[in-house]
Amino acid sequence: MLTGLTLTKAREGLAARKFSARELAKAQLDAIARLNPVLNAYITVLPEETVLAAADAADARYAAGTAGLMDGLPIGVKDLFCTKGVRTTAASKMLENFVPPYESTVTANLLKAGAVFLGKTNLDEFAMGSANITSAFGPVASPWKRKDDPSATLVPGGSSGGSSAAVAAGLGLAATGTDTGGSIRQPAAYCGIVGLKPTYGRCSRWGTIAFASSLDQAGPMTRCVADAGLMLEAMAGFDEKDSTCSNRPVPAFSKAVGKSVKGLRVGIPTEYRSPNLPAEVVAMWEQGIAWLKEAGCEIVDVSLPHTKYGLTTYYIIAPAECSSNLARYDGIRFGIRKDAPTLDGVYEATRAAGFGAEVRNRILMGTYVLSAGYYDAYYLKAQKVRTLIKRDFEQAFENVDVLLTPTAPSAAFAQGENMDDPVQMYLNDIFTVPASMAGVPALSVPVGLNGNGLPLGLQVIGKHFDEETVLSIGGALEAAAGFTHLPSVHAGAGA
C-alpha cells in the first residue's frame, strides 16, 4: 500500500524504480479526496496538475541519477509555513486570503531536496492550542477511536493536529510541524506517530508565521524515527535571514538511528513523577525505562527543580511574544481589513473580525504582562525563571546523555472535553514546555496503546544540538516497542 510507506521505504522503492513518484503522489491525492472530508486535516490541497508535475520532475531526477534526499516523497506542510503562490492562512480568518510572494526557508529546503507538497495542513489558529479546535477552518478529527465509545470524535492534539492526523491516516508520508511549547510532540503522541522538535536554531524560522519567536521551532512529523532524521536533515541548516539560526553543520541524522545505545546514561526527572499521573501513563514510562535498560543504558534519577514553573512562565512569555508578533495584523499590511471612520477604528474592527477567541485571549494576556507597571512583576520575572529552567537542564546533562519522560499526561481526549477551562487545556503541555523553554531537542515516539486503544508516547530530551543521541535512543525505544497499530480511519482501510 503506497500510502502506508515510511519515507525511508518510499525512497528505496523510488530509487529501485518499483513505483514512480507520480504513482505515489496520485495514491496520496486519492486518499486525501476520500478522507479529508472526514478528518479536515488539510486546509488547502494543491491542484492535481501541480502535484503531479512536481512528481514527474522527481521521476526525471531518479532517471538521471540526480535525486535529492527527499526526492518524490509526498508530504503535507503545516499551514504556518509561507509557500510562494500558495495560500497560507495560519488557520486564521485574518489570513484567509493571504498568498505569500515568498517561500519559507524550511519549505524551500524541502523543495530543494525534491519533496512533493500535497497541500497545507490544518492547525490551531496561529499555532495556539493543544487540540486543533481553534482553527477558523474547523476542527481536525483524530483518525483514532476509543474502544469503548467509537462514536466520540477525538482531538488529534495541537497545534500541528492537521499534520499528525494526515500522517497517521495515510494522507501524506510525513508532514512538517512547528513546536512552540509542544505542538509537534503532543499531537504526534496523540496520533501514534513520531515528532521531533529540534534544538532552537537548528531550522530557520524565516518565512514561518511567528507565534513566540524565542520558542518557535520547525520539525518533522513522521511514521518512524529514521524518517524524522532524514526529514530534519533536509529541513535544517544555516540561514542568514534568521539571526537565531545556527551555522553548525547538519549531520546525517538518519544514520543515528540503529546505533547502539549501550552505556548511554538516561535521566529520569524525579519531579515529573506526579501522583496525579494516570497509572497507564506511569506504566508506559516504566516500560520505556525497562526497554532502555535491556538495551544497555544506565538509568539515573535526576532533579529538574524549576521545571514545575515551566508551564506558568511559558504562559507569560509565549503570550507576551505573541502580542508583539501579532501586532502586524492591523488591516493595513497583511490580511483582511474592516473599514471604519478612524485609523484606530480600522485596527479595532479588523482585529476583532480577524482573530478568534483564543488568540484574542493571548494577546490580552501578553499585552497585560508587558505593560508598564506589570513588566517587572511578570515578564521579567518569567525570563529569570526561564534561565533557571535552562540551568536545570544544563546541570542534569553534566551527568546524563538524555532524559526520558511521558510526552503528555494522558491519551487524546474528545472534542468538547477540557474545553471550558483553559488551565485544564494548558496542562497538556506540562511535559513538553520545559524543553521548549530551555531550547533543547526533544522527540516523541509512540510506544503503545492505553486500555481504550489509544496511542501513548514517550519523550526523549537531549542536549543542545545533540539530536543524534536523541534519535539513537528514540530508535532503541521504537525497536523495543514495535508500535505498528493503525487508526480506525486510514487510507488502507477497506481499500
Catalytic residues: 78, 159, 183
Residue 256: partners with Cβ closer than 8 Å, 6 or more residues away: 229, 467, 468, 469, 471, 472, 475
180 counts as binding ligand GLN under rule CB under 6 A: yes
- Residue 445, C-alpha cell as written in the block: 515516539
Least distance (Å) between residue 179 CB and ligand GLN: 5
Q: Which is nearer to ligand GLN, 127 or 232 (CB)?
A: 127
182 counts as binding ligand GLN under rule CB under 6 A: yes
Least distance (Å) between residue 449 CB and ligand GLN: 23
Restricted to residues 318-357, the positions that interact with ligand GLN (CB under 6 A) are 318
User: Closest-CB residue for ligand GLN?
Assistant: 183
Q: Which is nearer to ligand GLN, 211 or 483 (CB)?
A: 211
d(CA 29, CA 24): 9
d(CA 109, CA 121): 18
Least distance (Å) between residue 386 CB and ligand GLN: 15
Work out which of 159, 176, 204, 323 binds ligand GLN, going by CB under 6 A: 159
- C-alpha distance from residue 236 to each of 30, 37, 58, 194, 211 (Å): 30, 33, 21, 17, 20
181 counts as binding ligand GLN under rule CB under 6 A: yes
Q: Which is nearer to ligand GLN, 32 or 317 (CB)?
A: 317
130 counts as binding ligand GLN under rule CB under 6 A: yes
Q: Which is nearer to ligand GLN, 77 or 128 (CB)?
A: 128
Please state, as a whole number, how many other Cβ atoms lie within 10 Å of the Cβ of residue 327: 13
Residue 447: partners with Cβ closer than 8 Å, 6 or more residues away: 284, 287, 288, 456, 457, 458, 477, 481, 483
Work out which of 44, 183, 208, 472 binds ligand GLN, going by CB under 6 A: 183
Work out which of 59, 79, 179, 478 binds ligand GLN, going by CB under 6 A: 179
Least distance (Å) between residue 265 CB and ligand GLN: 28
444 counts as binding ligand GLN under rule CB under 6 A: no
- 276, 404 in Cβ contact below 8 A? no
C-beta contacts of 14-21 below 8 A and 24+ residues apart: 14/58, 14/62, 14/67, 14/71, 14/72, 14/73, 15/62, 15/67, 17/62, 20/55, 20/59, 20/72, 21/55, 21/56, 21/58, 21/59, 21/62, 21/71, 21/72, 21/73, 21/74, 21/116
267 counts as binding ligand GLN under rule CB under 6 A: no
Restricted to residues 410-429, the positions that interact with ligand GLN (CB under 6 A) are 429
161 counts as binding ligand GLN under rule CB under 6 A: no
- 318, 212 in Cβ contact below 8 A? yes
122 counts as binding ligand GLN under rule CB under 6 A: no
Place of cell 526520558: 404
d(CA 102, CA 90): 15
- β partners of residue 116: 74
Q: What's 449's DSSP letter?
A: E
Asked if omega into 159 is within 30° of 0 (cis), the reply is yes
- β partners of residue 460: 404, 443
Q: Specify the 3-state DSSP secondary structure of 454.
A: coil
Query: Side chain identity at 115, as an amino acid letter?
Result: A
128 counts as binding ligand GLN under rule CB under 6 A: yes
163 counts as binding ligand GLN under rule CB under 6 A: no
Q: Which is nearer to ligand GLN, 130 or 407 (CB)?
A: 130
Least distance (Å) between residue 128 CB and ligand GLN: 5
Restricted to residues 294-323, the positions that interact with ligand GLN (CB under 6 A) are 318
220 counts as binding ligand GLN under rule CB under 6 A: no
Q: Which is nearer to ligand GLN, 73 or 131 (CB)?
A: 131
Least distance (Å) between residue 5 CB and ligand GLN: 28
Q: Specify the 3-state DSSP secondary structure of 390.
A: helix
Of residues 117, 176, 107, 167, the one with CA closest to residue 140: 167
Q: Specify the 3-state DSSP secondary structure of 239.
A: coil
Residue range at the interface with ligand GLN (CB under 6 A); choices 103-111, 181-189, 376-384, 407-415: 181-189
Q: Which is nearer to ligand GLN, 36 or 132 (CB)?
A: 132
127 counts as binding ligand GLN under rule CB under 6 A: yes
Work out which of 117, 144, 211, 291 binds ligand GLN, going by CB under 6 A: 211
d(CA 65, CA 112): 15
- 456, 406 in Cβ contact below 8 A? yes
Least distance (Å) between residue 287 CB and ligand GLN: 26
Residue range at the interface with ligand GLN (CB under 6 A); choices 69-77, 177-185, 285-293, 395-403: 177-185
407 counts as binding ligand GLN under rule CB under 6 A: no
Q: What's 253's DSSP letter?
A: G
Q: How many CA atoms lie within 13 A of 37 on its CB side?
A: 3
Q: Which is nearer to ligand GLN, 272 or 314 (CB)?
A: 314
Q: Which is nearer to ligand GLN, 227 or 429 (CB)?
A: 429
Size of the site for ligand GLN (CB under 6 A): 13
Least distance (Å) between residue 211 CB and ligand GLN: 6
Residues that bind ligand GLN (CB under 6 A): 127-130, 159, 179-183, 211, 318, 429
